[in-house]
Amino acid sequence: MSAAVEAAAGEPFLRFMRKQIFEPLGMDDTRPDSETEATADRATSYFPRFAADPRYGPELMREVDYSCYAGASDFLSTPSDLVRFGMAINSGRLLQPATVQLLQAPQRLTSGQETDYGLGWDLENVDVAGKPARTVGHDGESLGGMTASLMTIPERGLAVAVTSNISYADTFAVALKIADAFAAQKKREP
């Protein structure tokens, strides 16, 4: 996908992302991950010992160079910046609503069965503040374990992001609890 963006934009993918996405949305704390340049305020990453069992404590995660993935796993960000991105997607500020609808539509298998995946988006039906809701988001992983979740609930105008510096953190469950708290508060407001 990043190669297609580069070809259409006529510029390197990372420059396009900075100029067209990050700067306009005020995502000042989002940048490419780099093995050669130090990143100020970067969190230290940990991995649970012994088959991802947190009972045995963490150990430092080995360095992983994700630069070969370009558009997938190449960015460092903060929960605030991820929320800005999620809100911009769902408000029509970043993409046309019809484009967002196409990207967030479930894909179908050759059998006709719907998947829980759009084009780059995880789709899940959950309960939020006691009512069914459809979440649209994505979870990030490091060395096989979840480390970040961006969850949006478009029909409720919610976007939640949770990050962790230890792999195998259930950031999706934490994001769901936060969304539930915000939705419950919104229900109580007059």
pLDDT tens column, 8-65: 999 998 899 999 999 999 999 998 876 666 667 778 777 787 766 767 778 777 776 6
pLDDT greater than 70 at residue 190: no
Whether residue 103 contacts residue 120, with contact meaning beta carbons closer than 8 Å, is answered with yes
Cβ atoms 116, 172 nearer than 8 A: no
Predicted pLDDT of residue 69: 65
**CA 11/CA 154 separation, integer angstroms:** 32
Give the pLDDT confidence score for residue 42 in this predicted structure: 76
CA distance 25 to 131: 31
Residue 68's pLDDT is 66
Full-model pTM: 0.86
Instruction: Give the integer Cα–Cα distance in Å for 40 and 28.
Output: 13
CA–CA separation, 39 and 85 (whole Å)? 21
pLDDT of residue 49: 76
Does the pLDDT of residue 86 top 90, yes or no? Answer: yes
Check whether 73 has a pLDDT greater than 60: no
Q: List, in sequence order, the alpha helices (H) in the chain.
A: 2-9, 13-17, 23-25, 49-52, 79-91, 97-103, 171-188
Q: Is the pLDDT of residue 108 over 90?
A: yes
Amino acid identity of residue 75, one-letter, is F
Residues facing 124 on adjacent strands: 135
C-beta pairs of 114-121 under 8 Å, 24+ apart in sequence: 120/1
Q: Give the Cα separation of 43 and 29 in Å (integer).
A: 13
Per-residue pLDDT of 124-183, as tens digits, reads: 999 999 999 999 999 887 766 778 999 999 999 999 999 998 888 889 999 999 999 999
> Taken in order 69, 61, 160, 152, is the CA torsion positive or negative?
positive
- In the prediction, which pLDDT does 40 show? 73
pLDDT value, residue 70: 63
The average pLDDT across 78-103 equals: 95
DSSP state of 21: I
- Structure token digits, residue 158: 């919610």
Q: Indicate the average pLDDT of the chain.
A: 87
66: pLDDT confidence band, cut at 50, 70 and 90? low
